[in-house]
Amino acid sequence: MKTKPLYLNLDSEPEIDSDTADMTVGFWKRQFLQPRSRKQELTDWLYGVVIPLACIAFDPIVFKSGSMGGSLLGAYRPFAYLLSAVSILAMAAWLLWGERLKWLCAPLGGLFLAGGAVSLVIGAILFPFSVIGLFFFLIGALGFTPLISGIVFIRNGVRALRASSAHFEARVVWQAATLAVLLSIVIPYLANVYVSAIVYEIANGDAATIRREVPKIRLVSPLASLDPVRRRYWSAGKEEKLEDRFRAMHDAYLNSTGSDLDTEFTFAD
């Protein structure tokens, strides 16, 4: 009697109801079960969309300067903001429509993997500050958000790649994902280089150079951290600040942020 051969599908995980999954299944394995559980879906919305947006809007010190001093990672604000904006919007689309996005699932998977990896790196950098912040301010707990968001983005990246396998062969899926990873890193990086060059010219250039950069800095002001300009201006003496170069620097800062360096007592921008 002939028996039908058995084949294992190694390209995808079996679809298991995560709400009733055996708790003996390891934590990390449960993160990638399909479909997602209701708790995971809530977590994905919170840490993939809502809380990251809140952290960007009310950021006290990470990428924007606060009353306690300069920003920790202000120099990387253009990179972080651009990657975050695209990743958050893509996550909202994925959570709303899922596998109905069809061919878009592969590049979305790559984008989520890149965003998750960057988020984990930021979370690792902020971890010591977050631990210290817990002893003084409850808001210090928000410093752990990048670590949780990193896991959320990576697990949704894996799920998006699996969903795309229904429409493309594995080679095409990974090519699309790799291209998405490269684009999601390279484009924000180039923007970061461009904005940083403008800030550098304002902080170190002559009066004519600074005035030439004013229209550019106004255009990219939401992405630019002017901590170097502030530090350079405040390090100058009273007589030095009367020079044309420093008056141009003062005006550039005022046009970009709306704050007057001569009367600004906080580090807020």
Q: 141 pLDDT band (50/70/90 cuts)?
A: low
Contacts of 140 (CB under 8 A, 6+ apart): 129, 130, 131, 132, 133, 134
Break the chain into its structural domains and give their ranges: 33-257
The per-residue pLDDT for 31 is 67
Q: What is the pLDDT of residue 165?
A: 86
What confidence tens digit (pLDDT) does each residue in 3-34 have?
444 333 434 444 555 555 545 556 666 666 66
Could you read off the pLDDT of 199-220 as tens digits, one per residue?
Answer: 999 999 999 999 999 999 999 9
Tokens of 205: 């250039």
Query: What is the rounded distance in angstroms from the CA atom of residue 127 to the CA atom of residue 112?
Result: 22
Rounded to the nearest 10°, the torsion over CA 233, 239, 242, 247 is -10
Taking only Cα atoms into account, the Rg of the chain, rounded to an integer number of angstroms, comes to 23
Give residue 136's pLDDT.
66
| pLDDT given for residue 37 in this prediction | 80
Tell me the two tokens of residue 167: 């429409």
Tens digit of pLDDT for each residue in 149-173? 999 999 999 999 999 988 889 999 9
The whole-number average pLDDT for the span 232-241 is: 91
d(CA 224, CA 74): 8
Whether pLDDT at 46 is above 80:
yes
Give the pLDDT confidence score for residue 189 in this predicted structure.
98
Is 80 exceeded by the pLDDT of residue 68?
no
CB 45: neighbour CB atoms within 10 A? Answer: 16
Beta strand spans in the chain (E):
none
Q: Which two tokens stand for residue 39?
A: 């708790």
pLDDT score recorded for residue 263: 81
- Does residue 122 contact residue 56 with C-beta atoms inside 8 Å? no
Half-sphere exposure of 137 (CA within 13 A, CB side): 9
